[in-house]
Amino acid sequence: MGDTGPVMPTLDELLERLRVVALPMRVPFRGVTVREVALIEGPVAWGEFGAFPEYGPAEAAAWLAAGIEAAFKSPPLIRRHRIPINATVPAVPAQRVPEVLSRFPGARTAKVKVAEPGQTLTDDVARVNAVRELVPTVRVDVNGAWTVDEAVKAAAALTADGPLEYLEQPCATIAELAELRRRIDVPIAADESIRKADDPLRVVRAGAADIAVLKVAPLGGAYRLLEIATAIDIPIVVSSALDTAVGIGRGLLAAAALPQLNHACGLGTGRLFVEDVAEPLELVDGHLPAAPVRPDPQRVLELAAPPDRRRWWMDRTRECFALLET
């Protein structure tokens, strides 16, 4: 997988290389309308530190480690040069689905957000069916919002008019996922149960998932993702954590380095931004090229976060860096 030795800049060096940007979203995603991240201009490439604001230092530190790795370490050796991508459909009304899918030319798989606060299962079914009319393979992302009984009911409703590739994190806990897996025929993918767990492999040992959704930033970097992928014995989907073009580029390299890749990856979320820090990679026949991304300096300047938000990210970086040192 390449050089996996430790790389750690000094705090002063890291802060000097930090560029904080704020990217407006086309539609709200996870409740986010403006995505803030700190970019790291490293000697090897650019990295990204974009832990969501509500995450505490212990969880956010892994995201900082991933950004440092990307900026200061050579990428892993890749096995493929094109990565299949799923379209990402936020919790929009069904009539907006064609507009969203038009940003993902050639995509044969779509991930649909469901269980949005304030919406109903009827809304979810309408959205999923609208996607089915345009894309052959549909998966849904629940972000752990359902109880087991709610998930059983929802799985029946969402598959009444066609199959689902899988339900992503339908319930919050591993025990609930294992129980649900025994009660329904729809495959279950684990996301939060892997990236937020002290032991990422416990979900598999518990028989709680058919597929693992792995994200570079929350796991601490591409090399850590590949270690987990090697140890886990279920198929892998590499996904983004609402990354900028820089983070997406790192995710594509991680997906390209996997021994096997049998599912479309959730690395097309850059199309949810009004503006990004680099020109979006061109989606060709539902695939993106695996290559590192260098931001456009002018875009980085134009998308710079306000001074108070830059200070917030600098303070957060100091706090997380102290945890990495220990």
Are 221 and 246 contacting, i.e. CB atoms less than 8 angstroms apart? no
Q: Assess whether pLDDT exceeds 50 at residue 4.
A: no
Q: For residue 4, give the nearest of 222, 198, 218 by alpha carbon.
A: 222
Any binding-site annotation on 168? Answer: yes
Question: Among all residues, which ones are annotated catalytic?
Answer: 113, 215
Are 222 and 76 contacting, i.e. CB atoms less than 8 angstroms apart? yes
The C-alpha atoms of residue 40 and residue 315 are separated, in whole angstroms, by 15
Q: Assess whether pLDDT exceeds 70 at residue 6.
A: no
CA atoms within 13 A on the CB side of 187: 14
Are 138 and 164 contacting, i.e. CB atoms less than 8 angstroms apart? yes
Helix axes 148-158, 174-183, angle to 10 degrees: 40
The string of pLDDT tens digits covering residues 123-176 is 999 999 999 999 999 999 999 999 999 999 999 999 999 999 999 999 999 999
Any binding-site annotation on 185? Answer: no
Please tell me the predicted confidence (pLDDT) of residue 3: 54
Q: Which residues contact 176 (CB under 8 A, 6 or more apart)?
A: 147, 148, 151
Superfamily of domain 82-295: Enolase-like C-terminal domain (3.20.20.120)
Are 241 and 219 contacting, i.e. CB atoms less than 8 angstroms apart? no
Decide yes or no: CATH 1.10.443.10 for domain 11-75+298-323.
Answer: no
Q: Is 78 left (phi over 0), alpha (psi -120 to 50) or beta?
A: beta
Q: Please determine whether the domains at 11-75+298-323 and 82-295 fall in the same fold group of CATH.
A: no
- The rounded percent of the chain whose pLDDT value lies above 90 is 89
The string of pLDDT tens digits covering residues 170-197 is 999 999 999 999 999 999 999 999 988 8
Mean pLDDT for 296-318 is: 98
Q: Assess whether pLDDT exceeds 60 at residue 64.
A: yes
* pLDDT band with cut points at 50, 70 and 90 for residue 27: confident
Please tell me the predicted confidence (pLDDT) of residue 162: 98
Please tell me the predicted confidence (pLDDT) of residue 8: 87
Domain ranges of the chain: 11-75+298-323, 82-295
Enumerate the H helices of the chain as residue ranges.
Answer: 11-16, 57-72, 97-101, 121-132, 148-158, 174-183, 192-195, 202-205, 216-219, 222-231, 245-257, 297-302, 307-325
The string of pLDDT tens digits covering residues 82-115 is 999 999 999 999 999 999 999 999 999 999 999 9
Please tell me the predicted confidence (pLDDT) of residue 7: 72
Please tell me the predicted confidence (pLDDT) of residue 267: 97
Structure tokens at 19: 């560029």
31: which strand partners?
Answer: none
3-state secondary structure of 168: strand
Q: Is 303 buried (19+), middle (13-18) or exposed (0-12) by CB count in 10 A?
A: buried
The string of pLDDT tens digits covering residues 234-264 is 999 999 999 999 999 999 999 999 999 999 9
